[in-house]
Amino acid sequence: MSTTTEGPAHPDAIERPVAARVGAGIFSPRQLRTSFPEALRKLHPRHQARNPVMFVVWVGSVLVTVFAVLEPSVFTVLIAMWLWLTVLFGCLAEAVAEGRGKAQADSLRRTRKESVARRLTPDGAQEQLPGAELRVGDLVVVEAGEAIPGDGDIVEGIATVDESAITGESAPVVRESGGDRCAVTGGTTVLSDRIVVRITTKPGESFVDRMIALVEGARRQKTPNEIALTILLSTLTIIFLLAVVALQPMAVYSGSRQSPVALTALLVCLIPTTIGALLSAIGIAGMDRLVQRNVLASSGRAVEAAGDVSTLLLDKTGTITFGNRRATELVPLGGSAAELAAAARLSSLADPTPEGRSIVELTTGVHGLPAEAGAAELAATFVEFTAQTRMSGIDLGGDRIRKGATESIRDWVRERGGEIPASMDEVADRISGEGGTPLAVAKESGGTATVLGVIRLSDVVKPGMRERFAELRSMGIRTVMITGDNPLTAKAIAADAGVDDHLAQARPEDKMALIHREQEGGRLVAMTGDGTNDAPALAASDVGVAMNTGTSAAKEAGNMVDLDSDPTKLIEIVAIGKQLLITRGALTTFSVANDLAKYFAILPAMFVAIYPQLGDLNVMGLATPESAILSAVVFNALVIVALIPLALRGVRYRPATASGLLRRNLLVYGLGGIVTPFAGIWLIDLLVRLIPGIG
């Protein structure tokens, strides 16, 4: 795989504003105007029944409302009102999260252009038809100034393309046939030249269509972790329900019967309503953060898996290094430099890769050889590079020239009875030890095969990669660099980049074997890829991120597609997944912890009349039983509103080990979940006690 990137990933990308593409704040008036009606619709019992915790609150709200109508009092009416607000605030959190996605979906819809396609007929003529009528396999011509009518691969030509409508990047990119960057997205605009595109998707199934369906889909499947947490919250709710139901017989026996309103308020305050109300919004916002970074995930399961990844497989070229390896030196072995330059040029004339083009440029600039192929050279037989042979070349007349990995060239020469120069290994080892990549050049003429020399390809590690890998290491994630280079080159670049391990001379089956070995140890594996040969490994990995510019096979095999085609984004994806899990865990810790303060507020107030000793537990000095219960219910509702921005934005993520994250959660959100309600309920009680009939 040889993948390049349009530019280095932003090192602080995980901290960028979530709503950068939508252009609206979390609680902007426009956002609230569109979300509030949807929140009201979510009050329907069929919707509430999907969330067991909030359904209990909904039933309690109905029950208290009935008592407020039959036996009206200031206390009962206020409790009913705040219980309904608790349900409404939970619906609003989900509606705001979905509304942000729908706003982005509308923005994406505006990027789609109803274009007229020029389809090529079998006889080479062109026919015009609407882009929506194109089918898979159709060939369309797109020239400068025209919009690409559908997703596809360039099969002829090279052009600069404006992808800002899809990726948000203003700088145009180069797309060309025959390489790793041949894929184009429907709705983007060709700025120069002429290309022929083979359509690869059906109408309505383009990446833009799939992104729209992803970000606006209100009906989403719950992830395994979300289902497990829902079961836990439901269990806690049942336990507290049984406990509250058991209180009434005890109260009757003690001669202090409690009103159903007070018992309902106690139940709502004790069950984990905070996380129950925000759980759905957290999941939706996690998917939204991926979409904001132009990553299309097939499901929330993939996002969660990214958060649990413990091994990252990173391709060297374009991910760890800049990817544009260039020929910088020709080292002749026994023969003349001119003969080596001529052979290197001939073997690279039909090589469409950046490395092949750089070899032609080197022989042209330094040795004065022609850049274009002559008539005789055009009639030659070109041998394409494959992952199995790891060679390419040309058969011209009676001569056969090959260029490739030193091991492959050695075997090729020996098969033809040729001798290997003793200095070849020494030169190759020296180039590899210096971080370069050696390519040997051999020629068979008159039945004799000889090694002419070695080409040095140089690559550069991207700045900041060592620091990013150190962060991943602090998170307990192991990084493995995958490369087709020889072991010495791979070792030098791996040491320079700071990865934990490397796999050299990697073939598709080697990648698969490595993934299976890692998974057998109970680890989750993530990798990036863009070629057809990467498809098996992408499918086998737990998180497979395919590049949008890659082949259709790679994009179908992975469970995520990066529209920016930036392989380094895999590191961001892992951080987003971890941020999702951390946010869910932090708010769950806070929700369970703040029940303790509400326990101290309500229970002493309910039974202090018959057990005066409970007055010692009224550490907040709450005025009356009614004010204590109402203050707890009001706080229970308001805390949901206060935490909506955190649920949508996500807890600030800092690389740390699992034990470090646990300590942080317990100290910040566990201790905070205990202290905050004490202060909040006390302040609310100062206001509530002023209400006639309460204080």
The response to whether 384 counts as a known ligand-binding position is no
- List phi, psi (to 5°) of 185: -110, 135
In angstroms, rounded to a whole number, what is the distance separating the alpha carbons of residues 466 and 496? Answer: 8
Tokens representing 613?
């000793």
Q: Is the Cα dihedral 184, 168, 325, 539 positive or negative?
A: negative
The response to whether 386 counts as a known ligand-binding position is yes
The response to whether 388 counts as a known ligand-binding position is yes
Tokens representing 91?
């619906």
Supply the residues annotated as catalytic. Answer: 315
In angstroms, rounded to a whole number, what is the distance separating the alpha carbons of residues 207 and 558? Answer: 14
Q: Is the Cα dihedral 134, 135, 140, 145 positive or negative?
A: positive
In angstroms, rounded to a whole number, what is the distance separating the alpha carbons of residues 183 and 546? Answer: 12
Listed residue (183, 114, 192, 121) closest to 152, CA to CA:
183
The response to whether 389 counts as a known ligand-binding position is yes
The response to whether 103 counts as a known ligand-binding position is no
How many Cβ atoms are within 10 Å of 189's Cβ, its own excluded?
Answer: 19
Q: Is the Cα dihedral 375, 379, 381, 382 positive or negative?
A: positive
Strand partners, 244: none
In angstroms, rounded to a whole number, what is the distance separating the alpha carbons of residues 362 and 665? Answer: 57
- Residue 476 CB-density burial (10 A; 0-12 exposed, 13-18 middle, 19+ buried): middle
Sheet with 295-297: strands ordered across: 295-297, 560-562, 543-547, 525-529, 311-315, 478-482, 501-503
The response to whether 390 counts as a known ligand-binding position is yes
In angstroms, rounded to a whole number, what is the distance separating the alpha carbons of residues 340 and 691? Answer: 95
Contact indicator for 297, 314 with CB cutoff of 8 Å: no
Please, what is the end-to-end C-alpha distance for the chain in angstroms? 73
CA distances 254 to 248, 263, 264, 265, 606, Å, are 10, 16, 20, 21, 12
Q: What angle do CA 333, 337, 340 make, to 5 degrees?
A: 75
Contact indicator for 632, 265 with CB cutoff of 8 Å: yes
- Residue 11 CB-density burial (10 A; 0-12 exposed, 13-18 middle, 19+ buried): middle
In angstroms, rounded to a whole number, what is the distance separating the alpha carbons of residues 51 and 536? Answer: 38
DSSP letters, 661-683, are HHHHIIIIIIHHHHHHHHHHHHH
The response to whether 560 counts as a known ligand-binding position is no
Listed residue (113, 112, 108, 111) closest to 22, CA to CA:
108
How many Cβ atoms are within 10 Å of 235's Cβ, its own excluded?
Answer: 11
- Longest Cα–Cα distance of the chain, Å, equals 113
The response to whether 153 counts as a known ligand-binding position is no
Tokens 């609310």, located at residue? 684
Listed residue (207, 403, 392) closest to 296, CA to CA:
207
Listed residue (276, 283, 329, 331) closest to 303, CA to CA:
283
The response to whether 207 counts as a known ligand-binding position is no
Q: Which helix (H) or strand (E) holds 658?
A: helix 658-664
The response to whether 54 counts as a known ligand-binding position is no
The response to whether 351 counts as a known ligand-binding position is yes
Which 3-state string (H, E, C) describes 251-267? HHHCCCCCCHHHHHHHH
Return binding residues. 351, 355, 385-392, 403, 530, 534
Which residues sit in the known binding site for ATP? 351, 355, 385-392, 403
Which positions make up the binding site for Mg(2+)? Answer: 530, 534
